[in-house]
A and B are shown apart, each in its own frame.
Chain A
Amino acid sequence: MATHTFTLNGKQISVEAEGNVRLLWVLRDLLGVTGPKYGCALEVCRSCTSHINGKAFNPCSVQVKDIEPDDEITTIEGLPATVGKDLHPMQQAWLDNDVSQCGYCQPGQIMAAVAKVKQAHAEGHEITDADLDELRNICRCGTYSRIREAIKAGAQDM
């Protein structure tokens, strides 16, 4: 077992774990950070989507030993603090559009949406339907239509 150090939701933390354990389980089972959900552990469903240094990734498919001490990991729990508010504009848009049904996919959806919008903005354009079609997150409750509306609305305030 080794000690792994990184920044999690703005705080420097250390955790004891075997190096090959995927970050999702380090977060959920060892650190009790349960916002990122387990839906496949195959980098398919995207319900675990979180951010590493501001970019979307799937911690179910990254070994904890590959996380560097200066890496900043943000889960849904830490998203509001990245904008210094109680809610990130994307979360607010999710509320305004009443997106959630069972809610299981939604933390991952929101984290993916924020990254997708940032990516579009960095490329110098607004989020398009083609961008939205690229999102791979499963929503088995079928909230896709409201997700699209919420992302477009949330993007306005980002």
Chain B
Amino acid sequence: MAEHRRSPDESTQQPAGERGLLGRRRVLGYVLAAPTLAVGVSWIAGSADPRPADAAVPSLPQPEEIFDLGDLQNLAAAPTSGLISVELKTDGTAYFAVPRAEVGQGMTTAIAMIVAEELDLPMDMVTIGLADARPELLMNQLTGGSNSMRSMYLPVRTAAAITRQRLVDTAAAHWGVSAGKLTTRGGVVSGPSGRTATYGSLTRAAASSRTIKVSAELKPQSEFRVLGRPHNRVDAHDIVTGRKQFGMDMEVPNAKPTMVARPPTINGTVKSVNNLAAIRAMPGITDVVPITHGVAIRGETFGQCIDAIQMVEATWGPGTVDGESDATVLAKLRAAQLPMAVPPLLSNTIDAEFVFAFASNSPLEPDCAIADVTPDRAEIWASLKVPIVAQEDIAKQLGLPIDAVKVHVIQGGGSFGRHLFHDVAAEAAEISQKMGKPVKLSWSRTDNFRQGRVHPMCTSRVRVNYLAGNVLSYEQRHTSVETDFGHGLGEMITAFAADLPVGGNLSFAETIFALSQSSPYNFGVTTQLLNEVPLKFNTGSMRNIYSPNVVCAEELVVDRLAAKFGQDPMRFRRNFLKDKRLLAVLNKAAEVGRWGKAMPKGTAQGVAVHAEYRGAVATLVEIDCRPETVNRPIRDGVSGPRVTKAVIVVDPGFCINPRGLEAQMIGGLQDAIALALTSSLHIKNGMPLEGSWDDYFYTRQWNTPQDVQVVIMPNTSDSPSGAGELAVAPAFAAVACAYARATGTMPTYFPINHGTLGFEPLPLEPSTPQSPTDGLDHTF
């Protein structure tokens, strides 16, 4: 069964009855009633994931192996996917409004490639927009769980194929020849004796005055000209010229810069503001109003809002976790750890506990939103991955009917889980309502770290029993501060609870844990369980949710086991991996990364594997932990061990865009290096100490490997796996394993530099520090 999960195509390469005589797959859709050609598609139930489970395997499969998080999302998306449509304009371009968020993952580029492929249209004639909140799409409008490509690949292909077919049929009827004699290329239909017609010239005739059901054949993979070839980002030119518009770059009339002075504890409130009049009188300031979690200030420039924040004198009410610090949270986690089921085998047992500090999922773009609320309607602009939940909640908050709230999804400067929630959009709405004016709200950098969502602190305990060269049991008890899934995934789980293979009365979090975690090794009786501690931190999913921590703990223990067995880590993994695709990527990584080569003392290689989202990855890194490297001088930054080389081998199932896939692997690697070595939040008295990027040590150039290679395996499937998060867990684990081998000590607290505070914390009040003025002294 594990093999089925990780080699998805073995069960779907020949879907019964869905291929025509030429081996092409026939799909169904609708030509929609419209003046020009518009095609909507219906999801063909069961034609993609999820696949049924069948044959027996040596150990009982864990839920994630037969049905994972993406399957849940596909299941939820199925009934409504039919509403997505491709439109063909009279200028010959195709338009597709994708019901997803683009936050840097390259999704719009991949979708454009899919449309271009099936429609035989040049890439520059495909326009991809982001759909506004569409309540009728229900949960098909959630960007997360690395699910976008998995759920949209087939529907988008289908819509494009039908569009093409319809254009061909129209031209054939017009010319009085059979459709089989026509070909398409580059947005032009060609027929016998050199006749041609552009798509644009055919779109009106191809349109229908009523919605009709039609079918078409998908292009076989062997004829692909676009998919599977490297393609650069469609928005790259706009980005490098500074033209790409992010939230704060948008001009909405009278939506003036707005920021919030905040209390010194997480989710603190405002009791009173003692100098409202004085703040209102400051230069450039137009409005000041107390709101739930601070004092909102609107002005001509953000700089003047920051000036005003410095002056706020307020009495703050308590926050939600005021008494908590790293140590108190850790004590609560340890008290909540679920017991192991299997008793230790004395000398043949490994018991280990790993602690992972709080981490921030903040992107580089500070959270921001524009809101224009009037007594009878509201309009919101924000980067939102679940816009329909935002729309619902904001309508409720404002006391407006849902259809009086318009929510526009705009391009986001990164997400990493942050934009699953609409905190900043809701706050912008609150402020606009209270001020009675449009606002352009930006959280400050410090707000983002201190009040924004975090990946919760957690522990992972592992017990392994082994005997005579076999592993008898593998138990992992993951204990975490509660992760908030109240952004739609929760609703999805409630709605589809009966269809999930996890049963029982699991919480949302336990369900997601069960659907995303499984051990790739033949370790006998295997259980991985989650328990949560309900603390009111602002938490949320961070890229790859539980996996980076769970996999890091497991792979460190695997290296320990290998040592006990007297086997090299590579050989041990080869012996115990139960999955062919993982074995293949592992072997490739060993070859490309030259596993086992001679390395100087204080440096080492580390390797780790991970399968999720129906993809498989092996990562091999080299780390340098020699004192001269660890202590290299860096101003206002941390140095520490340096990962000097990384080889990432990925089996993505079907690779849509190698260039984009490689980018996601590289990005995941940098996240992993940060999580393993340098970046964390230190909680003290209900507040993170980190307030800027020189405190929260995300990977910087001086910590990035100078040698990074990504190897993409030949396709093992005809459908893509999820790629956006796939690289984080195995890279994190590989760095941890390399560190353990280089130093001879197994790290148990992550990131490894968490114990030393490498910066002077910014004051808690004012909540946003004043900007420096000496920038001209640092030019280069």
Contacts and interface: CB of A to CB of B under 8 A. Distances in A.
Interface of A: 1, 17-18, 20-22, 24-26, 28-30, 32, 34-45, 47, 52, 55-63, 66, 75-77, 80, 87, 91, 94-95, 98-107, 110, 115-116, 119, 129, 132-148
B412 A106 contact: no
A47 B246 CA distance: 13
A57 B775 contact: yes
A18 B301 CA distance: 10
B771 A22 contact: yes
A98 B236 contact: yes
Interface stretch (B144-152, B324-332, B358-366): B358-366
Nearest to B306: A41
Interface in B74-109: 103-106
Interface stretch (B3-11, B60-68, B552-560, B702-710): B702-710
Contact of A25 (B301, B667, B700): B301
Contacts, number: 234
B257 interface: yes
Contacts of B363: 102, 104, 140-141
11 contacts: A25-B302, A38-B302, A43-B772, A76-B242, A98-B659, A101-B667, A102-B413, A104-B414, A106-B240, A136-B701, A148-B704
Interface in B430-468: 442, 444-445
Interface of B: 103-106, 232-233, 235-246, 248-249, 251, 257, 283-284, 300-304, 306-307, 362-366, 411-416, 442, 444-445, 636-637, 659, 663, 666-671, 692-694, 698-702, 704-706, 708, 769, 771-776, 778-780
A48 B694 CA distance: 16
A98 B365 contact: no
B236 to A, nearest CB: 5
A101 B706 contact: no
Interface centre among B238, B251, B704, B771 (most CB of A within 10 A): B771
Given A34-B245, A77-B242, A42 B663 contact: no
Nearest to B632: A133
Contacts of B365: 37, 39, 102, 104
Contact of A60 (B232, B283, B701, B771): B771
Given A133-B702, A138-B700, A63 B693 contact: no
Contact of A55 (B106, B413, B774, B780): B780
A138 B659 contact: no
Given A55-B779, A104-B365, A34 B663 contact: no
Contacts of B414: 101-102, 104, 140-141
A37 B412 CA distance: 13
Contacts of A132: 701
Contacts of A133: 701-702
Contact of A110 (B240, B366, B667, B780): B240
A76 B304 CA distance: 24
Given A77-B242, A95-B236, A143-B663, 12 more contacts: A29-B303, A38-B442, A40-B693, A41-B302, A77-B241, A98-B236, A106-B240, A115-B780, A140-B414, A141-B667, A142-B667, A144-B670
Contact of A59 (B240, B663, B701, B775): B775
Given A101-B663, A119-B780, A148-B706, A44 B104 contact: no
B760 to A, nearest CB: 13
A30 B251 CA distance: 12
A42 B769 contact: yes
Nearest to A45: B693
A35 B239 CA distance: 9
A37 B251 contact: no
B242 A107 contact: yes
B300 to A, nearest CB: 7
B771 A102 contact: no
Contact of B778 (A1, A57, A87, A134): A57
Contacts of A77: 241-242
A59 B302 CA distance: 13
A39 B445 contact: yes
Contacts of B702: 133-134
A98 B416 contact: no
B307 A45 contact: no
A115 B704 CA distance: 21
B683 to A, nearest CB: 21
Given A38-B366, A42-B771, A148-B701, A103 B693 contact: no
A95 B364 CA distance: 21
A107 B249 CA distance: 13
A87 to B, nearest CB: 7
B667 A143 contact: yes
A46 to B, nearest CB: 9
B693 to A, nearest CB: 5
